[in-house]
Amino acid sequence: MTTYWPWWAGAVGLALVTVYHALATDRSFGVSSAWDRVVHWRRERRLERMDEEFADDRALAEALAAATAEHFGPGPSPVRQHPYGQPGTLRVDVEPPAGDRPAATSGRPAPLFTQAALLISVFVGGLIAAVTSGRFELRLDMGPGFRSLVTADPVWMTVLLFAGGVLVGFGTRLAGGCSSGHGLNGCGRLRPVSILATAVFFGTAVAVSFLLWKVI
């Protein structure tokens, strides 16, 4: 018989992981978004280089001005003046103090290396837990429960697992996050969309489990 941690120990562990990730990276915890970025690492690395190149607001403004002038031609020289302006002159707002600007990392995803480390840690942590508990076993199916409830045919089992994985990936991207992003982070921050998404996740799981174990 398989023994598990008490529910409260698992809850405390998940909470600590979520809080530590938020404090260490200043960003939300999510596995599906990390997987998406690691799979498309070339594109993400290119975007990171662009972010590093234009990390300075002044450098970004100068680059945009140069690109605009190159495309549309040089325009009238701006006149720096009083914020209310004068007739016949062009108003240019004075640059706000550095303390009033948003943080440079605001809204930006975590570095690619950080998210790759997150995925590797999830895999290594599961491997360590399986080995230390004495239940580590390499297998090509989902176990006797899956065989007895769904199918024992290895071909159909592979087809069903593949189709299920595709649907999970599609639903995750459609919902804008997975159970870790919405359930742990979003619900913890009381985001309405995350509460709704998590209710759909777990409500569907409960309904399917009931159908498999009680009806079918």
CA distance 41 to 57: 26
- The domains of the chain are located at 8-95+110-137
Strands (E), the chain: none
Query: For residue 79, what pLDDT is reported?
Result: 47
CA distance 45 to 37: 9
User: Do 114 and 33 contact (CB within 8 A), yes or no?
Assistant: no
User: Do 177 and 194 contact (CB within 8 A), yes or no?
Assistant: yes
User: What is the full per-residue pLDDT of the chain (216 aa) written as tens digits?
Assistant: 567 778 888 888 888 888 887 888 777 777 887 888 888 888 888 877 777 766 667 777 777 788 788 777 766 555 444 444 455 444 444 454 444 444 444 456 677 788 888 889 888 988 898 888 887 888 777 777 777 767 777 788 888 888 888 888 888 888 888 887 888 888 888 889 889 988 988 898 899 888 877 776
Closest CA to 155 of 135, 170, 141, 143: 141
Closest CA to 125 of 117, 21, 139: 117
Query: For residue 110, what pLDDT is reported?
Result: 72
Backbone angles phi, psi at 66, to 5 degrees: -65, -40
In our burial notation (b when 16+ CB lie closer than 10 A, e otherwise), range 27-66 reads: bbbbbbbbbbbbeeeeebeeebeeeeeeeeeeeeeeeeee
CB-facing half-sphere around the CA of 38: CA atoms within 13 A: 14
Instruction: Supply 170's token pair.
Output: 């599609």
CB-facing half-sphere around the CA of 85: CA atoms within 13 A: 9
pTM score, whole prediction: 0.57
